[in-house]
Chain A
Amino acid sequence: MKPVAAIVFKDIVIEMRSKESLSSTTMFGVLVLVIFNFAFEPSSLERALIAPGTLWVAISFAAILGLNRSLAMETDNDCLQGLLLAPLSRGDIYLGKVASNFTFMIIAELVILPVFVIFNNLKFNVQFLEIAAIAALATLAIASVGTILSTISANTRMKEVMLPVLQIPLTVPVVIAAVDATGRVLTGETAEISSWLYLLAGFSIVYLTVSYLVFEFAVEE
């Protein structure tokens, strides 16, 4: 647990000094929500149908931006080399980066979610907490697969362009689950919501395990 905490701490210190990544991802997420409100102008009846989609497009796009930044930070100045030289297993480095990416995405969502609630005239009640819980699970799923994919894409010639191409198809089940679960919370039909939560949890567990095992191949020179 100690190396994971050390990596998270390192990333938080860097972020507090540079203030680059978090502000841009949060701003980007909010902007996507704004654009969608122009694109659809949903009446209150359609709101429950469209709102979950806009939220998850905003979050998953903002996540891609943040993940790109997180790995670029390591590859600039060869910081990744230093990390690899540290007496840690490759898997621990992966878990540390997942934890730090997860933390930053959650902080960004602390802004994006309230803005989403206000834009859609929802209330800050139990519903909001339920959406926040879904968001936390889905964010873990996105961070688990996104961290290793951003490491892969950092090795290619087209770094920033490559990550969305790799990540969007793989996160389709996460987005489907999150959008449908959020929609069910908004419409109050919460009966089948647990199977979506199982899907999100299962996705995270499987990707954390597989990526933990194969991360060494993604960073090896």
Chain B
Amino acid sequence: MRSKVLAVLSLATMIPTLYMIFFYAPTEVTMGNIQRIFYFHVPLATGGYVSAFLLFVGSLMFLLKHDLKWDRFGACAAELGVVFVSAQIVTGMIWAKPVWGIWWTFDARLTLQLVLDLIFIAYFMLRAYLPDREKRAKLSSVFGLLGMVDVPFNYFAIYMFPTQHPQPVLGPAGGGVDPEMGTTLTISFIAFGFLYAYLLDRRLAIAKVEEEIDYLKQVVFAHE
């Protein structure tokens, strides 16, 4: 039931979001239409950081409670992290090619996101090489915790490097945006928020089924 509600909500918000991004939001003066990718790029980046936080929570809770539920939670959040951060990097590259003239540069913010993506991927490589379920949960939770503790250090290290990435336009230091652009971004955030919640909910349900299948397989093998 919950997943159906989330599915309907994300569909119902995504359609007006797409309309607003492509028709309602005004065209940016210097960059032109390519700027519209900003309404995807920023919510995707936020999704990446939400995933990092959820992986941290999942790892910590598993180490405290020893309940596999939390390990599944961390792993599913990390999977969404890979999807969202990768999508964010790709949208950024599509934007950078016409605006900067290059796909990629080892710029501070770009490197930061790439490293976050690599930590998520390393987390999955570790899981793949740990066949035992209990051990996988324990060791990957330790790594998840260490990896997510790294994120603020990375942010600080990179913050001190010069960047050509546009500075955040929202928040206290930003110059603000056109109100119509602001509305579009807000609606986009809501739509992506529902999408994230829906994907996480579905993924958790699948992870639980996967675990049950593994358990049943073991039972069957034990009988043979």
Please report A residues at the B interface, Cβ cutoff 8 Å.
145, 148-149, 152-153, 155-158, 162, 165-166, 169-170, 172-173, 176-177, 180, 192, 195-196, 199, 202-203, 206-207, 210-211, 214, 217-218, 220
Report chain B residues within 8 Å CB of A165.
Answer: 122, 125-126
Contact of A210 among B126, B129, B149, B156 (CB under 8 A): B149
Report chain A residues within 8 Å CB of B115.
Answer: 169, 172
User: Contacts A155-B130, A157-B131 known; A214 to B145 CB distance under 8 Å?
Assistant: yes
User: Contacts A176-B161, A217-B63 known; A166 to B143 CB distance under 8 Å?
Assistant: yes
B197 located at the interface, meaning its Cβ lies under 8 Å from any Cβ of chain A in the complex: no
Report chain B residues within 8 Å CB of A166.
Answer: 122, 126, 143
Report chain A residues within 8 Å CB of B126.
Answer: 152-153, 156, 162, 165-166
The 8 closest A-B pairs by CB, nearest first: A173-B157, A156-B129, A173-B153, A169-B118, A176-B157, A169-B119, A157-B129, A172-B115
Contact with A along B139-158 (1 / 0, CB 8 A): 10111011101100110111
Please report B residues at the A interface, Cβ cutoff 8 Å.
63, 111, 115, 118-119, 122, 125-126, 129-131, 135, 138-139, 141-143, 145-147, 149-150, 153-154, 156-158, 160-161
- Say whether chain B's binding surface is mostly helix, strand, loop, or mixed: helix
13 examples of A-B residue contacts, CB within 8 angstroms: A149-B143, A155-B135, A156-B126, A162-B129, A166-B126, A169-B115, A169-B118, A170-B147, A173-B156, A207-B149, A214-B146, A217-B141, A218-B138
Report chain A residues within 8 Å CB of B150.
Answer: 169-170, 172-173
Q: A218 to B143, alpha carbons, bound, how many Å? A: 9
Q: A168 to B141, alpha carbons, bound, how many Å? A: 18
15 more contacts with CB within 8 A, not counting A169-B122, A170-B150, A214-B146, are A153-B126, A156-B139, A157-B130, A158-B129, A169-B118, A170-B119, A170-B146, A172-B154, A173-B156, A199-B153, A210-B146, A210-B149, A214-B145, A217-B63, A217-B142
- On whether the beta carbons of A202 and B142 are closer than 8 Å, the reply is no
Report chain A residues within 8 Å CB of B125.
Answer: 162, 165
- On whether the beta carbons of A152 and B157 are closer than 8 Å, the reply is no
Q: A156 to B147, alpha carbons, bound, how many Å? A: 18
Shortest A190–chain B CB gap in Å is: 15
- On whether the beta carbons of B139 and A195 are closer than 8 Å, the reply is no
- On whether the beta carbons of A220 and B149 are closer than 8 Å, the reply is no
Report chain B residues within 8 Å CB of A203.
Answer: 153
Report chain A residues within 8 Å CB of B161.
Answer: 176, 180
- On whether the beta carbons of B157 and A172 are closer than 8 Å, the reply is yes
**Can you name the residue of chain B whose Cβ is closest to the Cβ of A172?**
B115
Q: A117 to B158, alpha carbons, bound, how many Å? A: 28
- Of the listed residues B119, B145, B153, B158, the one surrounded by the most CB atoms of chain A closer than 10 A to its CB is B153
- Of the listed residues B131, B141, B142, B145, the one surrounded by the most CB atoms of chain A closer than 10 A to its CB is B142
- On whether the beta carbons of B149 and A206 are closer than 8 Å, the reply is yes
- On whether the beta carbons of B139 and A152 are closer than 8 Å, the reply is yes
Report chain A residues within 8 Å CB of B118.
Answer: 169
- On whether the beta carbons of B139 and A218 are closer than 8 Å, the reply is yes
